[in-house]
Amino acid sequence: MRANFGKASAMGDEAPLYFYTHLFLAHPETRQMFPVSMAHQRDRLFQALGEVVARVDDLDSLVPILQQLGRDHRKFGTVAAHYPAVGASLLATLEHFDDGWNEQLAADWTAAYQLVAQVMVEAAESADGPPWWDAVVVGHERRTFDVAVLRLQPKEPMDFVPGESISLETERRPRLWRYYSPANAPRPDGLLEIHVKAHDGGPVSSALVRQVQVGDELRLGPPVGHLSFDAESDRDLLLVAGGTGLAAAKSLLDHVTQHGPPRRVDLFVGARTEEHLYDREDLERLAAEHSWLSVTFAVSEDSWSTLEHGHIAEVMMRGGPWTSRDVYAVGPGPMVEDTVARLVAHGVPRQRVRTEVFAPSRPSPTVDGEVTS
Amino acid sequence: MSIEQRGAGGAGGRLSPADVQSVTFSRSTMLHPGYSDAEVDRFLDRVGDELTQLQQENAALQEQLADLQARLESVESRPAPGEQAMGILAAAQQTADQYVAEAEAFSRVMTSEAREQYEGQLRDAREKAGAIIQAAQEAATGAVAADAESRPADPNHPDAEALQRQVVYLQAFGQACRVQLRSYLEALLTDVETEWGRATPEALPQPPLRSPAPPNRPAVEAAPAESNGAAPTADASATDREPNVVKSVSGPQR
């Protein structure tokens, strides 16, 4: 099976192109579940299949992944009846690109696919909560050239853990889902605040920042945990945030505000220049309201600023000591790595430093459909 | 006797319906009338084995049938797409992909150029503003100096210089007090943090000291008041600024 899969995946884009063409012709009703441009979808398909094939001997690690996939696929409108259609097209594709295709391979792949489909369907059917949430945009503020803060009102209550992310889709960019972190803990009125940075050429983020208006409807997928927040811990908190990673940090901060008992919170927020500190006003208000909170802003490329100068991890280390803290670092990759390295050297146990890297959900494509960084 | 040859309980060969119909059992003995128990038991064993095997074969066949039917349905209900249709759709999809990619690339270039221009203009404006402010300050300093030179010593303020010295002294004194207090508090806090960092949560019966900020301010205010009666006014204004500086501007206060 691996050799057979290798032959198909060696064909690059051709194999997934064949697969989707076959699927859409055999089952035209499946086309509307996919975005207009399929270039990135094609990359993803074989990547996901490759993961399944690589772990086919290790069901213990494969099953949870498939269950998660099955639950998450509900938001695309996937139902049990779609699975055999995908299976038939997959087999046709694997057969098409393999001269040595035989009955045994067909039987093995059929059995493997049936298992995968069964796990995903069962997980989807037993999942709690709606497949997706409809939400209305009730606030939209452009804070900088390319950052906006959106306030969303889900029509059904949505429960999540602070620091979790939700995927969302706007009708302006149908079938393109991107992950964002709410910048608050769950509230009685259900409001969610999200921070969006428009990436150059990024279809969804640009639309969310520059086009979406109050009154627009969005679809939200089920919350997913990336940053595992330990709400039970009574340790004081050190939060280090860069870019829109601030949203996740603010979510933890909001949890402490709402639920106490007051844990001391030191929040460090970094940006290139003062203009990029898009949420400064609100953070200063919070710092003034709560004696247990300190907020430090730092700029790395702004010689005129009266704020602290330097990269945020460097600025954070001017304070301290932080050895007793629960640490959460969220932001661009290099910032997170820098923070972890400095804190570990400082003596904070690695398991008490929890991180999430905020990056564009995918790099923009070139004209040839190649992915660049 | 068929029993002896084919064996009611004998080994070898599968049991056929004819075997069951034609089976005969020998009589036991005069003392114990009826069929031989042993022969009947052996035969029943064979019948049981045969039934088990038949049921297993039946189940396997059923499964195979369902599997084949499922495959048949998936293959036959939808005719396989023709090669020509596949080619046309694939080409259309690739064309659409390329247009989207071109639009995204165009938007990427546009926005990044717009941003560069925006940030460049902002930078220029700030530099110009900075230069203007600096020039204005220099002009003001020059004017004050010229003013001071042109005017003779004011007889109403004979002690201006002495007062100036006292202000400098008091400022330095206030600064020294703050520095000492801060390093004392820092050392205290370092101890607490280090100890707490080392301790396991279980070993900690009471929540340790929190929020060291509040004691900071009264302590600073009190110190100069006790040691020097002249200091409070100048120093209190300095400490009033402290919380702002700590919270919103300079941050790492420890």
Q: What span, in angstroms and rounded, lies between the C-alpha atoms of A296 and B252?
A: 7
Report yes or no: B205 at the A interface, CB cutoff 8 Å: no
Helix (H, G, I), strand (E, B) or coil at B163: helix
Number of H helices, E strands in chain B: 7, 0
Lookup result for tokens 């420890």: B254
**Is the ipTM reported for this complex over the cut 0.90?**
no
Answer whether B211 sits within 8 Å of A318, measured CB to CB.
Answer: no
Query: Quick one: angle between helices A39-54 and A14-26, nearest 10?
Result: 100
The percent of chain B in helix, strand and coil, each rounded to the nearest 5, is 75, 0, 25
- Scan for tokens 């007090």, then name that residue: B177
Chain B residues inside the 8 Å CB shell of A20: 93
Give the CA distances from residue A340 to residues A15, A254, A298, B252, in Å, rounded to whole numbers and listed in that order. Answer: 41, 23, 18, 18
Residue B235: predicted pLDDT: 41
Distance of CA A332 to the CA centre of its chain: 13
For residues B171 and B164, give the distance between their C-alpha atoms in angstroms, rounded to a whole number: 11
User: What whole-number distance in Å separates Cα of residue A271 and Cα of residue B251?
Assistant: 15
Sheet with A192-197, side-by-side order of all strands: A178-180, A166-170, A217-220, A133-142, A147-154, A192-197
The partner residue sitting opposite B118, judged by closest CB among A145, A287, A291, is A145
Beta-carbon separation of B90 and A307 below 8 A: no
Q: What is the pLDDT of residues B165-205, one digit of tens each?
A: 888 998 888 888 888 887 887 777 777 666 655 555 554 44
What average pLDDT values come out for chain A (373 residues) when binned by 10 residues? 82 88 90 87 79 81 86 86 89 89 89 90 88 93 90 92 90 88 91 91 87 92 83 87 92 89 88 89 91 90 82 87 89 90 88 84 34 28
Burial A46-75 (b: 16+ CB within 10 A, else e): beebeebbeebeeeeebeeebbebbbbbbb
Burial of A9 (0-12, 13-18, 19+ CB in 10 A): middle
User: Beta partners for A108?
Assistant: none
Contact state of B211 with A292 under an 8 Å Cβ cutoff: yes
Burial class (CB in 10 A: 0-12, 13-18, 19+), B183: exposed
- The beta-carbon neighbor of A366 closest among B80, B105, B194 is B105
Q: Do B86 and A22 touch (CB under 8 A)?
A: yes
| CA–centroid distance for A27 within its chain | 30
| A-B contacts at Cβ under 8 angstroms | 152
Residues 82-101 of B with CB under 8 A from A: 85-86, 89-90, 93-94, 96-98, 100-101
- Ramachandran area for residue A125 (φ above 0: left; ψ -120 to 50: alpha; else beta): alpha
CB contact under 8 A, A324 and B246: no
Residue B118 with chain A: CB contacts under 8 Å: 145
Find chain A residues with C-beta within 8 A of B248's C-beta. Answer: 284, 287-288, 295, 297
Q: Give yes or no for a contact between A262 and A294, defined as CB atoms under 8 angstroms apart.
A: no
Give the tokens for residue A54: 């690589």
- For A299-317, write each residue's pLDDT tens digit: 988 777 788 888 998 889 8
Nearest CA in chain A to B197: A324
Distance CA A135, CA A203 (A): 20
Distances (CA, A) of A194 to A146, A169, A184: 14, 13, 8
Rg (CA), chain A: 23
| A177: nearest Cα among A211, A215, A149, A205 | A205
Record: contact B108-A38, CB cut-off 8 A? no
DSSP B33: -
Query: Please, are residues A318 and A292 in contact by the beta-carbon 8 Å criterion?
Result: no
The C-alpha of B174 sits at a distance from chain A's nearest C-alpha, in angstroms, of 23
What is the C-alpha separation between A299 and A172, in angstroms, rounded?
35
Are the Cβ atoms of B74 and A348 closer than 8 angstroms? no
Contacts of A96 in chain B (CB under 8 A): none
Cβ proximity of A181 and A247 under 8 Å = yes
Q: What is the pLDDT of residue B247?
A: 36
> Is the CB of A88 less than 8 angstroms away from the CB of B105?
no
Rounded to whole angstroms, the Cα distance separating A70 from A80 reads: 10
> Which region holds residue B16: left if phi is over 0, alpha if psi is between -120 and 50, else beta?
beta
* Contacts A117 to B, Cβ<8 Å: none
pLDDT at A369: 29
Which of B74, B86, B101 minimises the CB distance to A84? B74
Rounded Cα distance, A363 and A224, in Å: 21
List per-block mean pLDDT (blocks of 10 residues) for chain B, which spans 254 residues. 46 76 78 79 89 93 89 68 89 92 88 86 85 88 78 61 88 85 77 62 48 43 40 39 37 38
Using an 8 Å Cβ cutoff, are A318 and A288 in contact? no
Query: What would you measure as the largest C-alpha separation in chain A, in angstroms?
Result: 73
pLDDT in tens, A141-184: 999 888 999 999 999 989 899 988 898 999 888 888 888 999 99
Residues of B in contact with A365 (CB under 8 A): 101, 104-105
Contact B197 A323 (CB under 8 A): yes
Classified as helix, coil or strand, A228 is coil
Rg of chain B, C-alpha, whole Å: 52
Q: Which domains does chain A have, with CATH numbers?
A: 2-126 (1.10.490.10), 133-220 (2.40.30.10), 237-357 (3.40.50.80)
The Cα of A128 is separated from the nearest Cα of chain B by a number of Å equal to 30
Residue type (1 letter), A61? S
Q: Which residues of A touch B122 (CB under 8 A)?
A: 275
Residue A211 CB coordination number (10 Å): 12
Q: Yes or no: say if A88 and B78 are a contact pair by the CB < 8 Å rule.
A: yes
Name the residue facing B89 among A24, A37, A202 (closest C-beta). A24
Under an 8 A CB cutoff, do A236 and B210 touch?
yes
Selected for mutation to probe chain A from B67, B72, B74, B83 (highest A CB count within 10 Å) is B74
**CA distance to partner chain A, nearest, from residue B176 (Å):** 20
Beta-bridge partners for B35 = B27
Predicted pLDDT at A348? 86
The answer for A194, left when phi > 0, alpha when psi is -120 to 50, beta otherwise, is beta
Q: Alpha-carbon distance B175 to A145, whole Å?
A: 42
Among chain B residues, CA nearest to A292: B211
Alpha-carbon span B12 to B31, nearest angstrom? 32
Cβ distance A284 to B248 less than 8 Å, yes or no, reads yes
Does the beta-carbon distance from B193 to A88 stay under 8 Å? no
The Cα of A321 is separated from the nearest Cα of chain B by a number of Å equal to: 6
Q: Do A298 and B210 touch (CB under 8 A)?
A: no
Contact A291 B213 (CB under 8 A): yes
State the pairing for strand pair A147-154/A133-142: antiparallel
